[in-house]
Structure 1
Amino acid sequence: MEAADEFLKYRSPLVSRYASKEMAYNFSDRRKFTTWRKLWIYLAKAEKALGLPITDAQILEMESHTEDIDFAMAAEEERKLRHDVMAHVHTFANCCPTAAPIIHLGATSCYVGDNTDLIMLRDGFDILLPKLARVIDRLANFAEKYADLPTLGFTHYQPAQLTTVGKRACLWLQDLAMDVRNLQRARDDLCFRGVKGTTGTQASFLQLFQGDHDKVEELDRLVTEMAGFKKAYMVTGQTYSRKVDVDCLSTLASLGATVHKICTDIRLLANLKEIEEPFEKEQIGSSAMPYKRNPMRAERCCSLARHLVALLTDPLQTASVQWLERTLDDSANRRISLPESFLTADIILSTLQNITEGLVVYPKVIERHIRHELPFMATENIIMAMVKAGGNRQVCHEKIRVLSQEAAAVVKQEGGDNDLLTRVQQDPYFAPILGQLDALLDPKTFIGRAPQQVVRFLSEEVHPLLEPYKAKMDVKIELEL
């Protein structure tokens, strides 16, 4: 019956449909409240080490009950007390009667609340970074494979000078490389709130240690170290600055913008039938049109990336309206915006990895599109060849202009193929260079240094960036939905 009741309540699709198990667990109640208990244990251990009358038996009792949380009791306590932290203090104390008097000693709610958030943010980045690295790795392999495959470039979504399939992928990679550096920087900049008391002055701890400032500083250092952080913020109010949340979520929003651009490009190329995302044997593209192969993964990434970008407004507004040492109107908002940002980033990276592991390229389609546009693009080369053969540049330019307009009329008004090359071959004026036309129209002569740029970019920028993640590169992504 309980399982059936689950379908009577709203469930976030971020978790029920998409997110990885590790990211869903990172922001779960189990993870959150287990971390609270660990923080209380760290505090008790540090206080004992600095001389407070706390016994080994009390600490052992707390450690033996780190995981066995009575969520029903905690919920009932919170209904009575209207205070989540005190509800869990009481619940922990209920199973640790010996340690009950020293649980949360000297601390404020933000000792467990904010410090747990910082741990979750740090560990969230640690989940995302290898996933982002794998996306970069897959795209780098793709770029290398197609480094010299000519394709139409597009500006204003109109055919422009040729590039290569691999060079275009390097444009995507350049943005992703910025993202991995930004995420790593934001992760490394995170500090611990530490042991700061109700308004950040550490007054309660100074009283506990009878005015010994050195012991209060050492308490802060010990707890910070036990939590796995190298340093704590030197000053806080009751909370750590909510600008920290802005910094973290802005890097994720920037990643969202990158992914949206990449997946929009893939969707546009899928429309041209030049590149397609993976498509399973039994996958259905449309309930009405059985022939369709919709780019649903790329569309999902774009949809969720917009949500990720939009979430940035929450911490920006929250940081701007915090009053003096703190106000509680941040709490309910942060319960949503922080987890959802990391869950959403997690989903789009998993989906993008799946896309990049199975991108399909259709060289013949790309070649046909090039043939359709290349005669127009080759006109400058034809003019230069005629001048080298003794022709007059201005006369040649006028000849090409007239023939180009006639060919364009065939394409646009009659729906025919681009026949400019045929018109050039039939005009006696161009007889001196007819033997050069195949060479003049070789697509590889129109791609400039694109292949060399790909090789150098991958070698000097991309591969070194992936070195720290080499041990985590073999994970393959299979999407359940």
Structure 2
Amino acid sequence: MGHVTSTPPSTDPARRSQTPLADAGIALGALDGRYRAAVAPLVEHLSEAALNRERVRVEVEWLAHLAAVDAVPGARALTEPELARLRAVVQDFGADDVAELAEIERETVHDVKAVEYYLKRRMAGTSLADLTELVHFCCTSEDINNLSYALMVRGAVQQVWLPAAGQLVDQVAAMATELRDVPMLARTHGQPATPTTLGKELAVLAHRLRRQLARIERAEYLGKLNGATGTYGAHQAAVPGADWVEVSRTFVEQLGLTWNPLTTQIESHDWQAELYSDVARFNRVLHNLCTDVWTYISLGYFVQVRGQGTVGSSTMPHKVNPIRFENAEANLEISGALLDVLAQTLVTSRLQRDLTDSSTQRNIGTAFGHSLLAIDNVQRGLFGLDAAPEAMARDLDANWEVLGEAVQSAMRAAGIAGTPGMDEPYERLKELTRGRRVDGAAMREFVAGLGLPDDVAARLTAMTPATYTGLASALVDHLD
């Protein structure tokens, strides 16, 4: 038998065989296909092109900073027109620049080196030509990358994700205020329980979501610029007289980031793990809102009144399915899973550096994209709802036994105050209510025979399941 050799497949996409769909430029994933419109704002911050633009920005600002602080002997200061020219490279970064960088990277087989050569091209033949060796001066790739990712994620969170999430939470809070006085049968363990109001239950969810947003708003975005192993080794070797720690600190802070003074080759990414865990937690609270609202729809407490032109079922014409909330659930689960992986993976790097974070961080946009898509779906879903107080009233009137808690609690208080005959109140109400339906007449008859003080008996006799909501309405005020 002859010896069979095999050739590994090409890693160059241009050399692989293509299918007709691939040749047509069809998106592989739903975010860049079906749901592109909902997540498009994130492209400006978390796409591959955005990463390269931020790399160019960091390289430009590092060169400008070195010149401004006179850190490298012989390097002159930039003139205002020269600085404007460099920054215009960032501001005007577009599709042609993306293509040019890709072309350079095919030669360098290194994405950050391609950015360095790209910027040097822009400086060649201009008054900046004498400063080309200040580009990427004493930098390791991770010096550029960590700062670029920090700027990208900060922009995506602060300019896109937080405004969308905040608008959603405000929408839930407004619904809570509007529905604060609408009584509703609560369900603990799926069983009829002490009544509440629909507004108060929505307020609980709005409050939970706002707490997570407050944590996300306080997020720190860390950065470093300290060389191949975080020691400023190349910096000290090149210019031992400069205060490189101070040069690094001021540079990072001028980018609007928090300086990390102690790192290996990489910035440790702990801030990313913290942020992604908080966003994942927001996702899970929002998932809880989706499942609760879905259940209220199934109970008839919400009616889907807007968007009636949609098809709920391909065979059942009467149906209007709660698809916005179901779609959101799925996307929140995908986003949460990706954010969990990011948070778990990014906190570890073997010894002074490994490249697991390089591939991992390329999925940040996908994680935020699914979350943003879910937020959009929940907003649309909530907009299409009207509360149905009459359905909630029917359920309340069918469950008078929930007043058993109120009656036995009043009996306890009366007994403590010295009223005779108030023994075993819980057990007596249990005998009356457990495993059976009690109507209003039966409950009033039972109360009348207890021997309660007249004012207590009158209060309980006047009570109905719809009025037994405690302080639910007033609790909504705590959203402020």
Quote the Cα distance in structure 2 between the aligned partners of 1:64 and 1:125.
Answer: 25
Aligned to 2:223: 192
Quote the Cα distance in structure 1 between the aligned partners of 2:213 and 2:339.
Answer: 18
Aligned residue type for 2:349: Q
Quote the Cα distance in structure 1 between the aligned partners of 2:379 and 2:208.
Answer: 15
Quote the Cα distance in structure 2 between the aligned partners of 1:45 and 1:223.
Answer: 10
**Aligned partners of 2:407 and 2:460 also within 8 Å:** no
Aligned to 2:298: 271
Aligned residue type for 2:403: A
Aligned to 1:467: none
**Aligned partners of 1:111 and 1:197 also within 8 Å:** yes
Aligned to 1:172: 205
Q: State which of 179, 182, 185 in structure 2 corresponds to 1:146.
A: 179
Task: Provide the secondary structure at the position in 2 that maps to 1:154.
Answer: strand
Please list every run of 5 or more consecutive structure 1 residues that lacks an aligned counterpart in the other structure: 409-417, 460-481
2:73 aligned with 1:46, yes or no?
no
Aligned to 1:465: none
2:378 aligned with 1:378, yes or no?
no
Aligned to 1:21: 40
For residues 1-12 of structure 1, the aligned pairs below 5 Å read 9-12=26-29
CA gap of 1:289–1:81, structure 2 versus 1, over 3 A, is same
Aligned residue type for 2:465: P
Aligned to 1:63: 87
CA gap of 1:201–1:277, structure 2 versus 1, over 3 A, is farther
CA deviations over 1:112-149 (Å, ceiling 9, x no partner): 21111001121122022222222222222211222222
Aligned to 1:449: 471
2:162 aligned with 1:129, yes or no?
yes
Aligned residue type for 1:378: L
CA gap of 1:395–1:50, structure 2 versus 1, over 3 A, is closer
Larger fraction in helix: 1
Aligned to 1:202: 232
Q: Paired residues, what number? A: 435
CA gap of 1:178–1:423, structure 2 versus 1, over 3 A, is closer
Q: 1:377: how far off?
A: 1.9
For residues 215-294 of structure 1, the aligned pairs below 5 Å read 216-229=244-257, 231-276=258-303, 279-294=306-321
Quote the Cα distance in structure 1 between the aligned partners of 2:24 and 2:326.
Answer: 26
2:143 aligned with 1:111, yes or no?
yes
Q: 1:257: how far off?
A: 0.8
**Aligned partners of 1:403 and 1:420 also within 8 Å:** no
Quote the Cα distance in structure 1 between the aligned partners of 2:269 and 2:161.
Answer: 21
Aligned to 1:349: 375
TM-score by length of 1: 0.80
Q: Which stretch of structure 1 is more off in the superposition, 143-152 or 277-286?
A: 277-286
Aligned to 1:33: 52
Q: 1:378: how far off?
A: 3.0
Q: 1:431: how far off?
A: 12
Q: 1:49: how far off?
A: 1.6
Quote the Cα distance in structure 2 between the aligned partners of 1:398 and 1:438.
Answer: 18
Q: 1:333: how far off?
A: 1.7
Aligned residue type for 2:178: K
TM-score by length of 2: 0.80
**Aligned partners of 1:42 and 1:226 also within 8 Å:** no
Aligned residue type for 1:179: Q
**Aligned partners of 1:308 and 1:344 also within 8 Å:** yes
CA gap of 1:26–1:278, structure 2 versus 1, over 3 A, is farther
Quote the Cα distance in structure 1 between the aligned partners of 2:45 and 2:142.
Answer: 19
CA deviations over 1:440-469 (Å, ceiling 9, x no partner): 3423431111122222x123xxxxxxxxxx
Please list every run of 5 or more consecutive structure 2 residues that lacks an aligned counterpart in the other structure: 1-19
CA gap of 1:436–1:226, structure 2 versus 1, over 3 A, is closer
**Aligned partners of 2:222 and 2:271 also within 8 Å:** no
Aligned to 1:87: 114
Q: Sequence identity of aligned pairs in percent?
A: 22
**Aligned partners of 1:250 and 1:312 also within 8 Å:** yes
For residues 456-475 of structure 1, the aligned pairs below 5 Å read 457-459=478-480
CA gap of 1:200–1:432, structure 2 versus 1, over 3 A, is closer
**Aligned partners of 1:274 and 1:361 also within 8 Å:** yes
For residues 414-433 of structure 1, the aligned pairs below 5 Å read 420-421=439-440
2:134 aligned with 1:102, yes or no?
yes
Q: 1:249: how far off?
A: 0.8
Aligned residue type for 2:163: P
2:101 aligned with 1:74, yes or no?
yes
Task: Provide the secondary structure at the position in 1 that maps to 2:184.
Answer: strand
Quote the Cα distance in structure 2 between the aligned partners of 1:151 and 1:323.
Answer: 55
2:243 aligned with 1:211, yes or no?
no
Q: 1:260: how far off?
A: 0.7
Aligned residue type for 2:31: L
CA gap of 1:6–1:363, structure 2 versus 1, over 3 A, is farther
Quote the Cα distance in structure 2 between the aligned partners of 1:9 and 1:24.
Answer: 17
Aligned residue type for 2:50: R
Q: 1:258: how far off?
A: 0.5
Task: Provide the secondary structure at the position in 2 that maps to 1:131.
Answer: helix
**Aligned partners of 1:153 and 1:161 also within 8 Å:** yes
Task: Provide the secondary structure at the position in 2 that maps to 1:159.
Answer: strand
Aligned to 1:333: 360
Ranked by relative contact order (alpha carbons within 8 Å, sequence separation 6 or more), the top structure is: 1
Quote the Cα distance in structure 2 between the aligned partners of 1:404 and 1:218.
Answer: 74
Q: 1:203: how far off?
A: 2.1
Quote the Cα distance in structure 2 between the aligned partners of 1:72 and 1:395.
Answer: 81
Q: 1:179: how far off?
A: 0.6
Q: 1:438: how far off?
A: 9.7
Q: Which stretch of structure 1 is more off in the superposition, 322-331 or 375-384?
A: 375-384
CA gap of 1:77–1:453, structure 2 versus 1, over 3 A, is same
CA deviations over 1:396-432 (Å, ceiling 9, x no partner): 9999777757x93xxxxxxxxx5734567899x9699
**Aligned partners of 1:276 and 1:295 also within 8 Å:** no
Quote the Cα distance in structure 2 between the aligned partners of 1:396 and 1:226.
Answer: 69
Task: Provide the secondary structure at the position in 2 that maps to 1:271.
Answer: helix
**Aligned partners of 1:77 and 1:87 also within 8 Å:** yes
CA gap of 1:155–1:399, structure 2 versus 1, over 3 A, is closer
Aligned residue type for 2:472: A
Q: 1:339: how far off?
A: 1.6
Q: 1:162: how far off?
A: 0.5
Task: Provide the secondary structure at the position in 1 that maps to 2:59.
Answer: helix
Task: Provide the secondary structure at the position in 2 that maps to 1:378.
Answer: helix
Q: 1:4: how far off?
A: 7.7
Task: Provide the secondary structure at the position in 2 that maps to 1:107.
Answer: coil
